Structure 1
Amino acid sequence: MTLPLDGLRVLDLSRILAGPSCTQTLGDLGADVVKIERPGIGDDIRGWGPPFLKDRDGNDTRESAYFMSTNRNKRSLTVDIGSDDGLEIIHDLIDKSDVLVENFKVGDLKRRGLDWGSVHARNPRLVYCSITGFGQTGPYAERPGYDFVVQGMGGLMSITGEAAGQPMKVGVPISDIMSGMYAAVSILAALRERDQTGVGRHIDISLLDCQAAWLYNQASNYLVGGVHPGRLGNAHPNIVPYETFATADGHINLAVGNDGQYRRLCQAIGRPNLADDPRFVTNTLRLTNRDAALIEIRAELAKKPSAQWLTDLQAAGIPCGPINTIPEVFDDPHIQARGIVQEINHSAAPNVKAKVMRTPIRMEGHEFGVRLPPPMLGEHTDEILSKMLNYDPKKITDLREKGTI
């Protein structure tokens, strides 16, 4: 079965998370992603463990769970791009590639002749995507960029956490992940244009730009209304009630998105009078009288256990849900029915079925599974050099003896 990006070759010079998450998405859609790694070392996140994948005897394989989360559907080629022979390999790959993704610091690749201008002159059809902390221009361009730093600089931490608590980051590296998403979308757009014009583009993705861009409603609240958003814990800045509520034995999330749902909530919690209370009849009034409304609702929800409330509220058509732990997420029958987890064979532990995430993208007529497990370091070096670049066995042996691969 063919996939939408079959025949597309991506040269992946990125590491850590933002770039690899972008190329993983392209690989999920069918692209042939060649991941370039340093001989003997590889992508830094190979060592970001434990946990590591374990073999049949329970021994660590040194394939980190972190690396496995962002490198499925790729092939690994080890190359020392600081050597002349290594640069020759990269140039040969550029000649045969449609896309190049890199996340080096601004200027690093120019010293190696692998900057946009040099690559574009060599292969004008190639789409070149740079992902950095702060972009190719601006006063911060040469700074290194890290997700945690950008979450703070981009305003996210100022609106995350309890009102009386300290600023809080999101529990996953969301700035990296979203930058990878924006990069993948941009690459697909540039490829669409390339197919019409025959010319590739340079894409400049900044983690800080992306972080600021996906502040969405909070940014608009400030830009349009002059509101200075702050931390509200799990509460919504524009909707009431829309937050986490304590029950008799735990917590649930309640998302009342309109006045009709609010009226049904009042019935479900046994307080129909609250629906007609002049302080609460519209969302605008509930926002104005947030504290008073929440006092009433919290008192009722604290009277029954979570499971009972979820049953009653869902029956009443009120958006709500549990607050699952990670194990509970993967035990959820809906998650299981959707097949978001796939068992695969991995070269590092061939007698063990490893569990990995698959893309959440669903498209009629295509099955986007894990075709290639996250690769071992340099696992496909000989295959790529011999079959893609037509290097003869002696040349490959010489390159290995020199430490180039």
Structure 2
Amino acid sequence: METTLQAGAKVSSYEDAVYRKVSWRLVPFLMLCFLIAYLDRVNVGFAKLQMSQDLGFSETVYGLGAGIFFIGYFLFEIPSNLALHRFGAKVWIGRIMVTWGLLSACFVFVETPTAFYTLRFLLGLAEAGFTPGIVYYLSCWYPSHRRAKIMAIYCMGSPLSGIIGNPLSGFLMGSMGGIAGWAGWQWMFFIEAVPAVLLGLACFYYLDSSIAKAKWLSDDEKQVLERAKAEDNKAAGPEARVGKVFTDPRVWLISLICFCYVTGQYGITLWLPTFIKSTGVSDPVQIGLLSAIPYIAAIVTMYFFAKSADKHRERRWHLIVPCMMGALGFLALPWIMHSTALSLVFLSIAAAGILTCSPLFWSLPTAFLSGAAAATAIAMSNSIGNLAGFTSGYMIGYLRDVTQSGSSAYYMIAGMLVLGAFAIWTLPAKLVNR
């Protein structure tokens, strides 16, 4: 008996070592890709501080332009993820990054609302499939009980883009205006697009499309990973046909959950500079530094919630609590916007809760689906969820124009987060807690 336990411990220790090797190889690079992806997606929130005034854009025009990105994202996301499943990660993710980097640089030439809408729509088309593609790619390497922590580390690219990108954006806009005849916001778009193209080219050489093709793994290490993957797929059940995903009520439920928390996510990421400015701060550099604070809070919260979820193999309450944190933060904002310090406290609570939802959420679809069906479910839930980027961006802009206040928009976001928490509560625990 003792010998058996010792052998089991040795196997577990060796498996842990193999997964550490995989994590050091894949996760920092993918997190960096996500950081750049998120920066290019939401830096329009910083550009708004100057671009709207320079080009005469109203709050509604900005909100529609910020949100229309997600229409293109929605239309092409499922085809994009199926293409990744067919052609391999390094080819498809590399293609996505190069394309969106080039399009992001083209925002330098925006002069009219039509050009703004068109480029945001095309950027959504180009980036479609990136996040669900990475989620599916990581699910091919990690079993479900290791995935929440890994997804949390990967998703730290989002708050890191705020910590690094917001001060950088504020600096570029505040210091480079007038150079070569370009405004500060034009230089920001151009400079921040370059890393996406370079990282996209690196994907073709750095990423492996499968465990079997990873030359940096020994045969024994590959067997450990393949065995863990096979056991996880067995627990998820037989691979479903792709067509059945669209009629599976579980997939529609998790799509609703994604829609609700993403409403809050883009309420934070697209409008955070505007929220801080409305408390009385006007300097772009200062706004950039202050807006990094909520993202620092998010990084700490994401890590500890994900670590706890993996340790206890529990998903529902680890998602419900962050959703309610986000709702609390937004409910408080209308009452304390007179104070920059208090606003930052509750924006930090909101950001910590909302951004923590993402890595925990992505363990749901792969808990009960595998293979191409899992890739489709991930893409479907993310595409429907990211429509919230459109509705959230447009509705916040519209409500701010109509009411000349952000209060109604804050209440709308809080209500969606409460709805999301209720939807999570209806998930059967045995479906997702493994």
Task: Specify which structure has the higher proportion of strand.
Answer: 1
TM-score (norm 2): 0.26
Of the two, which has the highest radius of gyration? 1
Task: Specify which structure has the higher proportion of helix.
Answer: 2
TM-score (norm 1): 0.27
